[in-house]
Amino acid sequence: MKYVLVTGGVVSGLGKGVTASSIGVLLKACGLRVTSIKIDPYINTDAGTMSPFEHGEVFVLDDGGEVDLDLGNYERFLDITLTKDNNITTGKIYQQVINRERRGDYLGKTVQVVPHITDAIQEWIERVARIPVDGKEGPADVCVIELGGTIGDIESMPFIEALGQFSYRVGPGNFCLIHVSLVPVLNVVGEQKTKPTQHSVRELRGQGLTPNILACRSTTALDENVKAKLSQFCHVPQENIVTLYDVPNIWHIPLLLKDQKAHEGILKALNLSSTKEPSLREWTARATRCDLLHEPVRIAMVGKYTGLSDSYLSVLKALLHASVELGKKLIVDWVPACDLEDSSAKENPNAYKAAWKLLKGADGVLVPGGFGDRGVQGKILAAKYARENKVPYLGICLGMQTAVIEYARSVLGLRDANSTEFDANTKNPCVIFMPEGSKTHMGGTMRLGSRRTHFQSKECKSAKLYGNKSFIDERHRHRYEVNPDMIATFENAGLSFIGKDETGRRMEIVELPNHPYYIGAQFHPEFKSRPGKPSALFLGLIAAACRQLDTLIGNAPIKPPNGVASKKVRQNGKTKKPAKILSGGVYGYSNVLFKRFRFNRGL
Ligand code: GLN
């Protein structure tokens, strides 16, 4: 097993995760099998209890692991399925060591950071690196380890110490260190400044780790004399210094690394001879195709955490995968759910007007998952608007539950219908607490991970979108569910529960048959969407929003995107001005890299 460690310097939010995933893509293209481990030095056992406001979305794995969103990047880029152990945290390591201490494993010894914590970290890495994640048998060839945070953070010290020991133990030729750093350009002089990188490499070396490769984030490619200076001060050969300059979308990053021959430096450090020149044809095609898209599809995202796009990262990626597949330029309009509520009309009329304007201007509506009652009424109003106006709607988890509550209130006439999550005493509990959940313990106590959904009929949009399979496996994360005792009432009133679990009592997919596209899923389809393999329900939403759903599920070929930008776009029978597209779009590299505010992660 060979190891590639990716560390970050200078500031957080440099896009280390995307860089590390792209390195994985490049190595995979060299014919190697790649796995990955993400180290998060925070004390939380996992990301399950962290607010998406602060930390971005909680990514959910097949095995029910609630992990850092970077594992989503790895799964999407490398098309692999990771386990919860692929995400190491300080909490997990200490918990293991303390459990061992209580069991008497260290009897007589003083349990210390070095060697006990550092040994536990190394053992964990070696064990997890060997778990096959790509569907093939046997361990991968290379494990990419990403160390979260920035060099110099107090929390990451034991990990750096452990990794220093580890690199010595596995020996040269088996370990490659890539340091991702920032080379700022000062506006006044327009000069690329190397000092911050010099300092962070010095700090890294001071802690026993020497980088083999420097990956420098900068707005433009590094000048040769800047590289020479970095090489001299950081003791990294000039050819091993690559620039990750701003690109229009993140799929360019593996291409950028390949063009600068990053793989040659990595393979050399790992004592591997290059078997073949890496081919990234699919990536090149996708990256350029994405740059050329111009026909907009507007999706209103009615959520709670609309201030931070990382809160819904996988949903955005899934929308993007589907839009690119259908040749549309994705525009996401963030609609804060609270602003749609009646109370906002009085308290904040401008926000109220703006929110409704965005909702009404959208080609499709998406209500993502969520917890807690803030904004729920707004989500219910969005579901009502989409249902009554025949606007394509996809509700995910809470978005499905709000669609059901809305139906109960508006169609069944049950005015106080609600989820017991929001009103414990409602007389019409149409969404109820699941018996296996816990109300007292928060971490890992939901219905989590991959569960099976059986289609009740093939004559529905969702079954067709999933390729007429009789069942599907998707990832879950919820404590509440649609009340099984009310299903007959709903179905008599026209709402179809088209997907159920194996017992037939747990509702998984709801559809409104006489609507262009009105689907709710109790699971989170976004977590399994991949570039080039978009998730079925997202593809359905975008297709319906572009009036291509019949073509899609009737299996007729989808019209490829036109090459030339048109001034006016015909949509919904009206001629619309093309939407204003912000540079980079929602998936711009710069967006993903720089708008990741992680307040709780070091400097
Ligand atoms: N809060 C809801 C529940 O626990 C929905 C969860 C979600 O959207 N992920 O069931």
3-state helix, strand, coil split of the chain in percent (to 5) is 40, 20, 40
Is 216 in the active site? no
User: What is residue 186's predicted lDDT score, i.e. its pLDDT?
Assistant: 84
CA nearest ligand 1 atom 8, residue: 369
User: What is residue 438's predicted lDDT score, i.e. its pLDDT?
Assistant: 64
| pLDDT band at residue 96 using 50, 70 and 90 as cut-offs | very high
Tens of pLDDT, residue by residue over 473-485, are 999 999 999 999 9
Most confident by average pLDDT, 68-72, 228-232, 363-367, 599-603: 363-367
Spell out the residues 6+ positions from residue 420 whose beta carbon is closer than 8 angstroms to its own: 426, 429, 431, 432, 433, 480
Tell me phi and psi for residue 104, to 5 degrees: 95, 15
Spell out the residues 6+ positions from residue 335 whose beta carbon is closer than 8 angstroms to its own: 300, 301, 302, 303, 306, 355, 358, 359, 382
| pLDDT band at residue 593 using 50, 70 and 90 as cut-offs | very low
First to last CA, the chain: 33
Residue 201 has pLDDT above 80, yes or no: yes
User: What is residue 311's predicted lDDT score, i.e. its pLDDT?
Assistant: 86
Residue 46 has pLDDT above 90, yes or no: no
User: What is residue 561's predicted lDDT score, i.e. its pLDDT?
Assistant: 44
Catalytic entry in 176, 397, 460, 546: 397
Q: DSSP 3-state assignment of 29? A: helix
What is the Cα–Cα distance from 351 to 402, expressed in whole angstroms? Answer: 22
Residue 439 has pLDDT above 70, yes or no: no
Is 526 in the active site? yes
| pLDDT band at residue 596 using 50, 70 and 90 as cut-offs | very low
- 537: which 2 tokens? 């329900």
Spell out the residues 6+ positions from residue 531 whose beta carbon is closer than 8 angstroms to its own: 76, 77, 251, 286, 321, 324
Conformation bin of residue 15: beta by default, left when phi > 0, alpha when psi is -120 to 50: left
Residue 465 has pLDDT above 70, yes or no: yes
User: What is residue 139's predicted lDDT score, i.e. its pLDDT?
Assistant: 95
Residue 366 has pLDDT above 70, yes or no: yes
Spell out the residues 6+ positions from residue 81 whose beta carbon is closer than 8 angstroms to its own: 61, 62, 75, 133, 134, 135
Q: Answer whether 406 contacts ligand 1 (Cβ < 6 A).
A: no
* Cis upstream peptide for 557 (omega within 30°): no
Residue 5 has pLDDT above 50, yes or no: yes
User: What is residue 276's predicted lDDT score, i.e. its pLDDT?
Assistant: 74
Residue 422 has pLDDT above 80, yes or no: yes
SS3 letters for 523-588? CCHHHHCECCECCHHHHHHHHHHCCCHHHHHCCCCCCCCCCCCCCCEEECCEEECCCCCCCCCCCC
Q: Answer whether 526 contacts ligand 1 (Cβ < 6 A).
A: no
CA nearest ligand 1 atom 9, residue: 369
User: What is residue 277's predicted lDDT score, i.e. its pLDDT?
Assistant: 85
Average pLDDT over residues 31-39: 96
The residue that leads in pLDDT, 570 or 371, is 371
Tens of pLDDT, residue by residue over 11-21, are 877 889 999 99
What is the Cα–Cα distance from 562 to 406, expressed in whole angstroms? Answer: 39
User: What is residue 133's predicted lDDT score, i.e. its pLDDT?
Assistant: 96
Q: What one-character DSSP code corresponds to residue 8?
A: E
User: What is residue 578's predicted lDDT score, i.e. its pLDDT?
Assistant: 39
Judge whether 333 and 358 are in contact, CB under 8 Å.
yes
Residue 404 has pLDDT above 60, yes or no: yes
Handedness of CA 456, 460, 461, 467 (dihedral sign): positive
- Helices 313-325 and 281-292: crossing angle in degrees, nearest 10, is 90
Nearest residue to 70 (alpha-carbon basis) of 322, 287, 310: 310
Average pLDDT over residues 95-103: 95
Give 375 Cα–ligand 1 centroid separation in angstroms: 13
> Beta strand pairing status for 59-60 and 66-67?
antiparallel
For residue 216, what are the CA distances in angstroms to 147, 210, 221, 246, 312? 16, 16, 9, 11, 27
Tens of pLDDT, residue by residue over 513-525, are 999 999 999 999 9
Average pLDDT over residues 192-221: 92
User: What is residue 470's predicted lDDT score, i.e. its pLDDT?
Assistant: 94
Pocket test for ligand 1, best of 398, 402, 446 (most atoms within 8 A of CB): 398
Q: DSSP readout, 47-98? A: GGGS-HHHH-PPEE-TT--EE-THHHHHHHHHT----GGGEEEHHHHHHHHH
Give 368 Cα–ligand 1 centroid separation in angstroms: 10
What is the Cα–Cα distance from 331 to 316, expressed in whole angstroms? Answer: 10
User: What is residue 275's predicted lDDT score, i.e. its pLDDT?
Assistant: 65
User: What is residue 191's predicted lDDT score, i.e. its pLDDT?
Assistant: 87
Residue 567 has pLDDT above 90, yes or no: no
Judge whether 392 and 421 are in contact, CB under 8 Å.
no
Q: What distance lies between CA 333 and its chain's CA centroid?
A: 18
| pLDDT band at residue 437 using 50, 70 and 90 as cut-offs | low
Tens of pLDDT, residue by residue over 70-85, are 999 999 999 999 999 9
How much is the pTM?
0.89
Residue 572 has pLDDT above 90, yes or no: no
Residue 444 has pLDDT above 70, yes or no: no
Q: Answer whether 369 contacts ligand 1 (Cβ < 6 A).
A: yes
Give 77 Cα–ligand 1 centroid separation in angstroms: 27
What is the Cα–Cα distance from 284 to 286, expressed in whole angstroms? Answer: 5
User: What is residue 590's predicted lDDT score, i.e. its pLDDT?
Assistant: 33
Is 176 in the active site? no
Tens of pLDDT, residue by residue over 159-170, are 999 999 999 999
Tens of pLDDT, residue by residue over 500-512, are 999 999 999 999 9
| pLDDT band at residue 307 using 50, 70 and 90 as cut-offs | low
Report the 10 Å Cβ neighbour count for 132: 14
Nearest residue to 289 (alpha-carbon basis) of 317, 319, 327: 327
Spell out the residues 6+ positions from residue 141 whose beta carbon is closer than 8 angstroms to its own: 1, 2, 32, 33, 34
Q: What's the whole-number average pLDDT of the chain? A: 88
Burial class (CB in 10 A: 0-12, 13-18, 19+), 261: middle
Residue 298 has pLDDT above 80, yes or no: yes
Average pLDDT over residues 554-582: 43
Residue 579 has pLDDT above 80, yes or no: no
Residue 443 has pLDDT above 50, yes or no: yes
Q: DSSP 3-state assignment of 315? A: helix
Tens of pLDDT, residue by residue over 232-251, are 999 999 999 999 998 989 99
Give 309 Cα–ligand 1 centroid separation in angstroms: 19
Task: Provide the Cα torsion 218, 220, 225, 227; round to 10°.
Answer: 40
Average pLDDT over residues 318-342: 95
Average pLDDT over residues 125-130: 97
Helices (H) and strands (E) in the chain, counts: 21, 25
